[in-house]
Amino acid sequence: MKINNIQHIIKSYSQNYLHEGKTIYGKIIKIENNTGIIKLPNGETIQAKFLTDIKSTENNYIKFIIDKIENQTVFLKPLSLEPSFINQQYEKLNNLNIPYDVGKEIIESLAKFQIPANDFFILLVYENLKFFKALRKMDTEKIIDILKNITKENITHKDESYKLIENIINKLKDTDINHLCFLLENDIELNLENILKLQSFLKDIDINDLIEKHTKKETKNKIIDFNDFISKIKICDLQDSIKNLLNFKDLLEKINNNYFIYYFNQYEKNNVFKNLVVIKKDKNTPKDYKVAKIFLRINTDKLGTVEAFLYKNFSNISITFKVEEKYEKIFKNNFSLLSSMLSNKGLKIQNFKVQPLKQKTSLVEINNFFETIKKLDVKI
């Protein structure tokens, strides 16, 4: 299936995650004559040249500043040889009376969403998380008992009021640390209303369906900017299928401050193929299009739904496909063809994976992919 109008998106919005003057954390895993390889907090490795004498520090991360980048080598100056900030944060969990395993996950999620991992945010996420853990223990009988106390009526699991509450609780039960940090990243208050809105949007709202119903013929096969789409949502003259978005408009506008999101539907032979492109914004880095991470979901007529996680690092590219299980062999068996096509465009496949697609990856979940070099300093 041919994808139209994608190239200009990649060219316009690809972000460079490494640039002169940027502060990064790295663990030295190989060094000789001040040249070696460092491992970043997200697991990626880069070739580095150290501008001062330095030795390997085993398991500790070192804080560096990038002096320059030449020939795909990053020239680094160490800013601190003290134990890594991440390790220090883990030690603080005892003082906060937070279990290590939970606290470690909170710190890592805060870092992933570029939120300061200080006491305030660690405790804020932890206290909210306790509520949702308690909610997961709530079974049918407990819900009915609560409804009976509130309504003073003999509620059963067949009543509409029960079904409504059960639906809401089931959505809230799925809330985890990443959902909470996602809201914080987008400057959205942690409360039940906003959490429910987020879960409802992730589970119930299909923008591609709305585009199919509400775009004019002349706009078909064109990419729809998410920001432009939600900015045109108005109370008047809306069909029922799109009215629900009004409740989510404030939340969606804030999310759009941190993401470039593009929905587009492909129309071929009376079939509609629904597609999505997501690029996470990095407001602190310049654009030179040499380093980019892009998430792409496409529907095809012969290969079902395909998700692609693309990471371009200069002339190297890493690709992870998530496809329906019955199509995995097709992708694996055509690696050579893909490699040849990319080679003709000056790109070399550095890593290639094909994984089963069990369910669509949500906007919150793709941050595991968009996680890159983080500023882990404590910010007050």
Give the predicted TM-score (pTM) of the model.
Answer: 0.67
pLDDT tens figures, 344-378: 988 999 889 999 999 889 999 988 888 753 433 33
- What's the sign of the alpha-carbon dihedral 117, 118, 122, 124? negative
Q: Mean pLDDT over residues 5-19, rounded?
A: 44
Q: How far, CA to CA in Å, does 380 sit from each of 87, 90, 108, 121?
A: 19, 18, 18, 10
Confidence of residue 180 (pLDDT cuts 50, 70, 90): very high
> Of the segments 12-16, 254-258, 293-297, 369-373, which one has the largest average pLDDT value?
293-297
The residues that bridge with 267 in the sheet, in sequence order, are 272
How much is the pLDDT for 289?
59
DSSP class of residue 123?
A: H
Task: State how far the alpha carbon of 238 is from the alpha carbons of 125, 200, 210, 233, 241, in Å.
Answer: 37, 20, 11, 8, 8
pLDDT digits (tens, 9 = 90+) for 43-65: 677 888 888 777 655 556 777 88
Residue by residue, DSSP assigns 173-223 as: HT--HHHHHHHHHTT---SHHHHHHHHHHHHH--HHHHHHHHS-GGGTTSP
* Residue pair 103/90 in contact by the 8 Å Cβ criterion: yes
Phi, psi of 376 (to 5 degrees): -100, 10
First to last CA, the chain: 50
Most confident of 18-32, 46-60, 317-331: 317-331
**Element housing 39 (H / E):** strand 35-39
Q: What is the distance between the alpha carbons of residues 78 and 69, in angstroms, rounded to a whole number?
A: 15
Each domain of the chain, given as residue ranges in start order, spans: 7-14+223-370, 23-80, 90-186
CATH number of 23-80: 2.40.50.140
